[in-house]
Structure 1
Amino acid sequence: MRSFKCIAGILFLCIFTTSFKANADDSHHYEWIVSLSDRAPLGVNKQVIVINDQFPGPLLNATTNDVVNINIHNNLSDPFLMTWNGVQLRRNSWQDGVEGTNCPIQPGFNWTYSFQIKDQIGSFFYYPSLLLQKSAGGYGAIRVNNRDVIPIPDIDVLIGDWYNADYQDLRTSLDNGKSLPSPDGILINGLGPNQAVLDLEPGVTYRLRISNVGLKASLNFRIYGHILRLVETEGSYIVEQYLDSLDIHVGQSYSVLVTAKNTSGESYYMVASSRFTDTELFGVGIVRYPDSAGDPDGPLPLGPFFRDYQFSLDQARSMRWNLSAGAARPNPQGSYHYGSINVSRTLVLENGVMFDGNKEVFTINGVSFLQPDTPLKLADYFQISDVFKPGVISDRPNPDNPPVFGTSVIYANDQEFFHIVFQNPSEYLQSWHLDGYNFFVVGMDVGTWDESKNATYNMIDAVSRSTVQVVYPFSWTAILVKLDNRGMWNLRSQDAVNSYLGQQLYIRVEGTETDPSKVSARDEAPIPENAILCGRTVYHDYVL
């Protein structure tokens, strides 16, 4: 039996007195101090969220099956949570770091995330999930390596849109019903124009791990005079392509191999430019060789026209999973043969809008997500029955039902195989992310989805990933996902504004044992011994 105590003077914050102990040969221990620092990436001073005084934050570098322990000290004046974008926390949604699974780390306190990385390799990133804090930084790169490390030097490239306003002001603007303006610019590795520098040695091949860590804008990445050899995305090796430029949508990560030229004394521009925005924005960095001096002499590398949706759609549909590459893989009931698994349930999820007075909020199938006072995972564990219930959101959009606020939770059974279609009836590109899982992107096209589109699906070598775009406005994307990871998992728009204003839901994956406190640790990780309690859980004498 494990007891807990409440921190004096803070009614809503209770912490278990013992800490999580993981048994593994390879473990990593980090102490991260989250604080604010005055920075001016685009020449305008603002409060930036730094980790150990670094922006972007420290690299989280691990290997398949490693255990990671990260003790986060919150020195902000607001609550804080960190989420691990694309990292599959096997049967351990307790560590997911989103508002539906974790109580926030309150100002002046710390909490240790402890999780094991299972059955995946690849390029990912972490970021703060609360209160639009991502717009102030706090993000960093994650690498998950094979056991047998390939001797190729790695370079992390974090690109994203940037607002000069503080995150508190951006959030207040949204809360008051105002839309965010266009971003003020694009950052590369947290730096403004011509400040991010990649130093290359002649003839060496580098692996660039590129992630779009921004709020809203899709970006196109390219380097003048260099070919991008696309090899991996979000844990999956893909059939290699040689590209002049690569579209990377919000929340997505890719690895490209770049072979340096056999030259010295030269430098070249690299660019991350916005896609599908009102005006085209450019983040500019420099690729530099030994003995080079000053900025490059050549022009910026040309990319696709910034409103060319067809380019992005064609590039996305050209990607295929490399089934012959040796690597850790997700393996749900024979994932190499996912096309032969019977679908348990089809969901058609359509993004939309509704109005709360004069304030525009966003919906999925007519429901704008309403965050309850108690995290869903805690409410589920302690069986507090009135925090959420099934049936709030329908499996398909119904235009006859008026839009509403609600706490959308989709109930699913362990080992079910879901077919999910993201239907985008708006004029803006969407991207979607499912925590805890990779899924197979089997189809995307213009128009409205119906069952006849199943015949067009790629049922052989569709890419397995965790974030997918609905490239065209007025279009759809279909995925297949094996729900073999028990827990409470967040499905959200990767547009931070849309998810903040209601465009998210949770998928509750459970087994035959319906009492979470009796679930075997072999099936799902137990509640952490250092768990923070909040909401309704602090008003009762809960003992584990």
Structure 2
Amino acid sequence: MGLLYFVSILAFWGVLLVKAEDAYKYYTWTVTYGRASPLGPSQQVILINGQFPGPRLDTVTNDNIILNLINKLDQPFLLTWNGIKQRKNCWQDGVLGTNCGIPPNSNFTYKFQTKDQIGSYTYFPSTLMHRAVGGFGALNVYARSVIPVPYAKPAGDFSLLIGDWYNTSHKALQQILDSGKPLPFPDGILINGQGRSIFNGDQGKTYMFRVSNIGLSTSFNFRIQDHKLKLVEVEGSHVLQNIYDSLDVHVGQTVTVLVTLDQSPHDYYIVASTRFTKTVLNVVALLRYTNSNGIAYGPIPAGPTGGVEWSMDQARSFRLTNNNNFGFNQLEPIKFSSQYKILVN
């Protein structure tokens, strides 16, 4: 009787453990060259599963990602998962030193867990100059149903991959750097691989905008005409929810804002413009209310007039909250290294 009871208890706990195991998600991505015309001229770009930018990778915290990457380029290739901590798993980080490049016509299977990292991230190529011509995409980690987040669920969720772009090929850019010269000034800015995008929403509802700087060298300022930006997360950490007219986003950085469509129903300009550059480049998209008449009124909203100090003061206002299950009530200021610099072109 005692042995039977003991075996029954083991079986019960075994069933619970199996049911409690975190989800596994399986992907196969093939990396190839293709053609696109982001700024007008046709040029060679890097596609993932035929897409430019690459597929949006939506996960839930604690998901186990099993991703088989097949390299069909003529060069070794690696992807890095920007901001994912890779606890005790650094060889999945996708950078030279912890990984070897995936040879042409070969594959590598990434295996990592998005452990307790609710937020907005990106992935991109980490070797040579592949990132200059694509191979990047959005990586979003959502909360499980049992984990609270400090804002109501938005009506929609947009990922904006914004960055400087060159009409020059990645191999030519590599030769420039190898010769000891700096990168030239970019030819333009793109949002999601395009010079013109449209984001649709309903009047009165609130939407999440995940804004990432996927470029190579240039910071940008992000703003939406006549709409306020409520900052809720920066690189996987929830923040004190300050309201901004515009936000500077630096290379490799991602910020998440909530935007309420509280204006009259028409189109509004979404603008990103380069910062700390003598020549200012702009890219314009549209926020379109579903009952819009399709017209955006007035001039494109101007960016901030302040320079590096303004940008640093804004960054210092991002106060992180403790990501836990107890009300997000602990505040911690961002600490800046004395080595932090912003380069001016």
Matches of 2:290 and 2:112, distance apart in 1: 41
Q: 1:101 aligns with which of 72, 90, 98?
A: 98
> Which moves more between the two structures, 147-156 or 245-254?
147-156
**What's the counterpart of residue 311 of structure 1?**
310
SS of residue matched to 2:315: helix
- Moved >6 Å (runs of 4+): none
Which structure 2 segments of 5+ residues have no match? Answer: 1-19
**What's the counterpart of residue 214 of structure 1?**
215
AA aligned opposite 1:87: I
Q: How does 1:264-275 map to 2 (within 5 A)?
A: 264=265, 266-275=266-275
Matches of 2:169 and 2:248, distance apart in 1: 28
Structure 2 CA distance for partners of 1:244 and 1:24, relative to 1, 3 Å? same
The answer as to whether partners of 1:237 and 1:325 remain within 8 angstroms in 2 is no
SS of residue matched to 2:120: strand
Structure 2 CA distance for partners of 1:121 and 1:280, relative to 1, 3 Å? same
Q: 2:340 aligns with which of 459, 470, 473?
A: 470
Structure 2 CA distance for partners of 1:185 and 1:159, relative to 1, 3 Å? same
Q: How does 1:326-337 map to 2 (within 5 A)?
A: 326=325
SS of residue matched to 1:470: coil
- Encode CA deviations 1:388-416: one digit per residue, 9 max, x unaligned: xxxxxxxxxxxxxxxxxxxxxxxxxxxxx
> Bigger relative contact order, structure 1 or 2, given CA contacts below 8 A and separation 6+?
1
Q: How does 1:88-487 map to 2 (within 5 A)?
A: 88-148=85-145, 151-152=153-154, 153-192=156-195, 195-261=196-262, 263-264=264-265, 266-294=266-294, 296-305=296-305, 308-323=307-322, 326=325, 441-443=334-336, 470-471=340-341
Residue 46 in structure 1 maps to residue 43 in structure 2: yes
Matches of 2:182 and 2:121, distance apart in 1: 29
Residue 311 (structure 1) shift: 1.3
Matches of 1:337 and 1:201, distance apart in 2: 33
Residue 178 (structure 1) shift: 2.5
Which structure 1 segments of 5+ residues have no match? Answer: 1-22, 330-335, 339-439, 450-468, 475-544
**What's the counterpart of residue 77 of structure 2?**
80
AA aligned opposite 2:137: G
User: What is the TM-score of this pair, normalised by structure 1?
Assistant: 0.56
Structure 2 CA distance for partners of 1:83 and 1:24, relative to 1, 3 Å? farther
The answer as to whether partners of 1:128 and 1:134 remain within 8 angstroms in 2 is yes
- Encode CA deviations 1:283-313: one digit per residue, 9 max, x unaligned: 11111112435552221112113x7112101
SS of residue matched to 2:320: coil
The answer as to whether partners of 1:72 and 1:110 remain within 8 angstroms in 2 is yes
Matches of 2:296 and 2:95, distance apart in 1: 43
Residue 263 (structure 1) shift: 3.8
The answer as to whether partners of 1:309 and 1:471 remain within 8 angstroms in 2 is no
Structure 2 CA distance for partners of 1:95 and 1:327, relative to 1, 3 Å? farther
Residue 322 (structure 1) shift: 2.2
The answer as to whether partners of 2:237 and 2:322 remain within 8 angstroms in 1 is no
Matches of 2:144 and 2:244, distance apart in 1: 29
The answer as to whether partners of 1:24 and 1:66 remain within 8 angstroms in 2 is no
AA aligned opposite 2:334: V
SS of residue matched to 2:242: strand
Matches of 1:315 and 1:182, distance apart in 2: 26
Matches of 1:295 and 1:115, distance apart in 2: 45
Residue 90 (structure 1) shift: 1.1
Structure 2 CA distance for partners of 1:325 and 1:93, relative to 1, 3 Å? closer
**What's the counterpart of residue 26 of structure 2?**
29
Matches of 1:87 and 1:191, distance apart in 2: 27
Q: CA RMSD in A?
A: 2.4
AA aligned opposite 1:169: A
User: What is the TM-score of this pair, normalised by structure 2?
Assistant: 0.86
SS of residue matched to 1:239: coil
Equivalenced residues, count:
318
The answer as to whether partners of 2:308 and 2:342 remain within 8 angstroms in 1 is yes
SS of residue matched to 2:239: strand
SS of residue matched to 2:334: strand
AA aligned opposite 1:256: V
Structure 2 CA distance for partners of 1:258 and 1:108, relative to 1, 3 Å? same
The answer as to whether partners of 2:59 and 2:140 remain within 8 angstroms in 1 is yes
Structure 2 CA distance for partners of 1:268 and 1:327, relative to 1, 3 Å? farther
Structure 2 CA distance for partners of 1:328 and 1:79, relative to 1, 3 Å? farther
AA aligned opposite 1:170: L
The answer as to whether partners of 1:85 and 1:124 remain within 8 angstroms in 2 is yes
AA aligned opposite 2:127: L
AA aligned opposite 1:292: S
Matches of 2:170 and 2:299, distance apart in 1: 34
Structure 2 CA distance for partners of 1:117 and 1:317, relative to 1, 3 Å? same
The answer as to whether partners of 2:276 and 2:343 remain within 8 angstroms in 1 is no
- Encode CA deviations 1:56-103: one digit per residue, 9 max, x unaligned: 111111111110011111111111000000011111001010011111
- Encode CA deviations 1:321-380: one digit per residue, 9 max, x unaligned: 124874899xxxxxx799xxxxxxxxxxxxxxxxxxxxxxxxxxxxxxxxxxxxxxxxxx
**What's the counterpart of residue 17 of structure 2?**
none
**What's the counterpart of residue 372 of structure 1?**
none
Matches of 2:226 and 2:318, distance apart in 1: 23
- Encode CA deviations 1:80-139: one digit per residue, 9 max, x unaligned: 000000011111001010011111111111111011111221110000001011000110
- Encode CA deviations 1:417-451: one digit per residue, 9 max, x unaligned: xxxxxxxxxxxxxxxxxxxxxxx73246xxxx5xx
**What's the counterpart of residue 63 of structure 1?**
60
Identity across aligned pairs (percent)? Answer: 47
